[in-house]
Structure 1
Amino acid sequence: MSKLFLAPMEGLADCVLRDVLTRVGGYDGVVTEFVRVSGSVLPNRTFQRIAPELNNASRTRAGTPVVVQLLGSDPELMAANAERLAALAPAGIDLNFGCPAPTVNRHGGGAMLLEEPERLFRIVSAVRQSVPATIPVTAKMRLGVRDTQKTVACALALEAGGAVSLVVHARTKVEGYKPPAHWEWIARVRESVSIPVVANGEVWSPEDYERCRAVSGCRDVMIGRGAVADPFLVRRIKAKLAGEVSEVGEPDRRDDWLELKPLLAEFWRLFLGRVEPRYVPGRIKLWLGALRNTFPEAESLYGEVRTAHKVDDVVRVLGLHGVVVSSERELS
């Protein structure tokens, strides 16, 4: 059976959104935002802040396993931090070789490491040797920095270092998130290594999922922005795989929107309990901005919320659209 994973998305798929999305169902696993490793061995609280699921047997409240991702370029420091993280019993440790963010790349991390297959090997090898064999070590990569000249060499280096599986985001660093995703290159990687390869990039619908699997030849798929824009996407893919539905044309989203409204309220509630209230309006705007690509109702709601800056103003707008939430004062 094909497995479906929620991708790590810095600044978007944090523990709150992971919690809400996995409640919808369908995910076989999720990967956290990266924990940046730079200059020191981090305290437990740093890992637990980014992955509070570590305090719940490394699972979301819906029971979905949570793999914690590390980002860094120094093999010894990565190994030392992985050893510290391993003591918290994560479901797995993933290594980030795909982040295209300039702030990360300026320091030689993320996707920039794809210029150095030998360093990739040393990082993965050091991490693998530092943690118990019972904890899977995986890696996520892009196709390269500017081109695909070193794609296969990087994948082979990650495998040789001890990664037990590999997620390939089918674009280069320079391409960022611009379509298309080059799924055919995932197929080349899959044919070159003996470990499982998970396809990632530009899956927004069950039809995209089917094409991605067909072109890449991969059994398993990781979904990122498509899952944020449509929280029911993975569930619909699983239902289609099980032969429970046979979609023709665009699905009717009205029932989905009714189911989504309580999840929006829970998203709001969880954020109010996690960050200062002044930051919460920005987070609901961020998710609504993605949802409006799928739901017409989210488009109008986003338009009204976009200009609201105070908690009570957002609560009022959400309430007018039938999203029942509590204000800061009611929760305090």
Structure 2
Amino acid sequence: MERIIQPKQVYTYEQMCLDCNRLMDRYPSLISMKTIGYSVGKRKLIAIKLGKGEDKIFINGAHHAREWLTTTLLMDIIETYAEATNSTSAFETDKIKEILNQCSFWFVPMVNPDGVTLAQSGYRSFKHKDLLIEWNKGSYDFSSWKANIRGVDLNRQYPADWETIQSDPGIRSCENFKGYEPLSEPESLAIYQFVQSQSIKLAAAYHSSGEEIFWKYKSETELEKRSKEIALQLANVTGYKLIYPSENPSGGGFTDWFISYYQRPSFTIEIAPYIGPNPVPLDYYASIYQQNKYVPLLLAENRNL
């Protein structure tokens, strides 16, 4: 049977929506989907549920527009795990079957669909073209755009030391502007509200690039010990290096908030070798997939650590 997810392409919001429906049709007892909110541009923010169990793991991607390859990765992993419930799969069939009966993975593969569309297709389909060009420092090339289409960095929007976020430009921009208040943007607010509506055991946020894992953010004592134990396992399966934050890390990110608010482990995983402020080339994808395909399984196996 031909696979639904074809990763070696510029993976668009429209393709993701189509693939979500096709995955639900193929695996109706295993995969479901819900709209958890809408972007500034009224695109649906799609959450995909994989599994039947009570314990919940949350994984998101593409907070940042140019980091859309994280969406591809998560969609590919969803299909891989669903396929593994068939006896013909070669990927950890027994383990996956057991985990998907015990756990439900919630994925939001594309937190920033407007920004991804802007980075992939350019500014011409957006009404406020002049403002976008201004926020993009006068450039007509939007491939390195990071923010949403209101010029706000969605991963600097969460209420974890938001007031003291560092390196904020103070104005709308292609990157790093934290907004005028926490959760001002519908995309980050939707993630915040969705997570609060669930009982999430562990979480991960996918970004690019650098082959790094952020895991600590001001966690202490037992939480730090637990988080580090899982982070070391993640480093082992991915080959990525653990990042130890400074004494005063910047804050505002999804992982920062989840750790601070819930006192549970969360991880920011940066795929691909460091390539600067650019989208990750598709040539890296095969190795990225191999490095990360075990990550959800590992998180689930450690959910009660």
TM-score (norm 1): 0.28
More strand as a share of residues: 2
More helix as a share of residues: 1
Larger relative contact order (CA 8 Å, sep ≥ 6): 2
Bigger CA radius of gyration: 1
TM-score (norm 2): 0.30
